[in-house]
Structure 1
Amino acid sequence: MVAGRSGPVRILVVDDDPGDVLMIEEALADSDVDKVIDVVSDGQEAMEFLRGQGRHAGAPRPDLVLLDLNMPKMDGRQVLGEVKGDPDLRTIPIVVLTTSSSDTDVIGSYTLQANAYVTKPIDLDDFNDVVRRIDEFFGRVVVLPKQS
């Protein structure tokens, strides 16, 4: 637990690839940072979760979002734009975690105010290491905004 925090770090994973979600969950489980993980599989569901609407009515506000860019219904770029444009949600840190290393995607994500952009490594050990580093950084190093 981070100093000043009263509970676990809540992480929302937004990714449509079940294999990637499983690897993210396993990498996060390897860390001793106290956390709760929620998972949604597309951008539309992510926005419902973040706004506490529909089947996600009453969903807790995450402290961190791990966001894939390429998803059905509403892609990660659209989610990023909506979250950072919403006064009630814009303080939630968003780490883009995606397979794309395109300069257009990197610049576009930072233009939309992503807090970090990380390309998913192909190698499993490297993938686990990257996710654990994100978890350590946001779970132990940074001060996250208090939930309202």
Structure 2
Amino acid sequence: MTETPHTQPEPARILLVEDNPGDVRLTKEAFKQGRIENDLYVVSDGTEALEFLSKHGEYADVPRPDLILLDLNLPGKDGEDVLEDLKADPKLQSIPVIVLTSSRAEEDIARSYELHANAYLTKPVDPDEFIETVRAFEKFWFSVVRLPPEVDPQ
């Protein structure tokens, strides 16, 4: 898309995979306060995330996300399993995945990067710090970084 001074860039499409309603609310609040226009999609477990990404069932018409925010501690299929499946799929592996989790465990950090996470952020306990972390992430990923194009458009 060619931008002229009068057009807005398309909103960033973000998939948040998070089962904690409080963290979902804080993330939405942080994005609302941010300057980057975005469409935030939320799923609450790993199975639902993979259905969204593969456009199965109720997700047949959803857009491909530009970025995925992934919690590790999910019910059922956990975040590591989602990350492993995602990065093994040639159609989806180019989507950047940012692990956003409460775990500070070294083995979780190491394993996330082994599975090709693009970044690992630890959720602050303080709500204001949480919002600031999400806003800093948003500014970096959508103002500084160039995101990859879709590999296999549908």
Q: TM-score, normalised to structure 2's length?
A: 0.91
Q: CA deviation at 1:139?
A: 1.2
Give the structure 1 partner of residue 106 of structure 2.
103
CA distance in 2, matches of 1:23, 1:62: 20
Q: Secondary structure of the residue that 1:36 maps to in structure 2?
A: strand
State whether structure 2 residue 77 is matched by structure 1 residue 57. no
Aligned length: 145
Q: CA deviation at 1:54?
A: 1.2
State whether structure 2 residue 87 is matched by structure 1 residue 70. no
Poorly superposed stretches of 4+, deviation over 6 Å: none
- Between the aligned residues of both structures, percent identity stands at 48
CA distance in 2, matches of 1:34, 1:127: 19
| Root mean square deviation, CA, Å | 1.2
Give the structure 1 partner of residue 86 of structure 2.
83
Compare 127-136 and 5-14 and name the one that shifted more: 5-14
CA distance in 2, matches of 1:132, 1:6: 18
Q: TM-score, normalised to structure 1's length?
A: 0.95
Give the structure 1 partner of residue 37 of structure 2.
34
Q: CA deviation at 1:59?
A: 1.2
- Structure 1 unpaired stretches of 5+: none
Give the structure 2 partner of residue 137 of structure 1.
140
Q: Secondary structure of the residue that 2:146 maps to in structure 1?
A: coil
Describe the superposition over 1:91-130 as per-residue Cα deviations: whole angstroms up to 9, x where unpaired: 0000000000000100000000000000000111111110
Describe the superposition over 1:22-71 as per-residue Cα deviations: whole angstroms up to 9, x where unpaired: 00010011111011100000000000000100111121100000000011
CA distance in 2, matches of 1:15, 1:85: 21
State whether structure 2 residue 120 is matched by structure 1 residue 117. yes
Whichever of the two has the greater Rg, that structure is: 2
Describe the superposition over 1:1-35 as per-residue Cα deviations: whole angstroms up to 9, x where unpaired: xx7x9511100000000011000010011111011
